[in-house]
Amino acid sequence: MGRILHRIALLVIAMTLLAACGDGGLLDGLGTRSQEVVYGDTSTTTTTVTVDTVPPPLGSRRASALVWFNDGIANEGAGQASQVIAQVWSRGDGASSVIQASRSEIAAALAGIQFPELVPESVGWVTSQLVFDVASGTLSQDTSAQFGLWSLEPYTSDSGRSAVLWVRPARSADTVGKVQSETSQDGLTLSWVAEAYHYEVLCPGDLVADYCWQMQETMMPLNLLLPEA
């Protein structure tokens, strides 16, 4: 009798398992649900989350957020430094020493040139030029490039110019490692040498001096501020 009852019990268990594994059974789809719990829905499209950049200090703006007035200029030069310089010069009239140039052209013409990462919040535009020696058609050694920082659309009003930055190659007589400051009726002028270049920035008297010093302290390679291709 014991053996018979044991066989009946085994038969009942086997029938229960078969029913559970069949269509619509209790275990039907268990593997799929387990996979969903452990791995998630494998058909879900992955979404890339853009991480917000750290906000700039109060009263400041990042140079990457500015409108670069000469980006996309007609016949924009490309290639090696000598090629770009020649292309920009050919765009001029042969008499003017200052020729409008894009930031990409300036970065190519003057390898390693820097520009402030942080500018006053009032600044919205940047104008940029290469400066030439007219007699030779090569870059001037007194001022090779210059940038205008504007709070109004460039050239609509002189009062809209917030600061000016001049750059030239460094000379042996230049003082390295010290920022020279000078205050005049035109405003605050800071000058210094970094790497291979001498920089000079003029900030009008109505600009808080701290923002002028901040520009000097946050210089970074211009080629890191180029527009995306």
pLDDT tens digit sequence for 112-140? 999 999 999 999 999 999 999 999 999 99
Q: What pLDDT is attached to residue 83? A: 97
Q: What pLDDT is attached to residue 15? A: 43
With 70 as the cut, is the pLDDT of residue 229 above it?
A: no
Query: What ranges do the domains of the chain cover?
Result: 2-39, 60-224
Mean pLDDT of the residues in the chain: 82
Q: What pLDDT is attached to residue 40? A: 34
> Does the CA dihedral 86-87-88-94 come out positive or negative?
positive
Per-residue 3-state assignment (H helix, E strand, C coil) for the chain = CHHHHHHHHHHHHHHHHHHHHCCCCCCCCHHHHHHHHHHCCCCCCCCCCCCCCCCCCCCEEEHHHCEECCCCCCCCCCCCHHHHHHHHHHHCCCCCCEEECCHHHHHHHCCCCEEECEEECCCCEEEEEEEEECCCCEECCCCCEEEEEECCCCCCCHHHEEEEEEEEECCCCCCCCCCEEEEECCEEEEEEEECCEEEEEEECCCCCHHHHHHHHHCEEEHHHCCCCC
More confident residue, 217 or 34: 217
Kindly tell me the burial class for residue 212, based on how many C-beta atoms sit within 10 Å of its own C-beta (0-12, 13-18, 19 or more).
Answer: buried
Mind listing the pLDDT tens digit for each residue in 17-56? 334 444 333 223 323 322 333 323 333 333 333 334 688 9
Q: What pLDDT is attached to residue 33? A: 26
Mind listing the pLDDT tens digit for each residue in 8-19? 444 444 444 334
* From the candidate CATH numbers 3.30.2310.20, 3.30.70.100, 3.30.200.100, 3.60.130.10, the one assigned to the domain spanning 60-224: 3.30.200.100
Q: What pLDDT is attached to residue 19? A: 41
Mind listing the pLDDT tens digit for each residue in 135-163? 999 999 999 999 999 999 999 998 899 99
Mind listing the pLDDT tens digit for each residue in 71-82? 989 989 999 999
Q: What pLDDT is attached to residue 9? A: 45
Query: Among residues of the chain, what percentage have pLDDT more than 70?
Result: 76
User: Rounded to whole angstroms, how far apart are CA atoms 74 and 8?
Assistant: 93
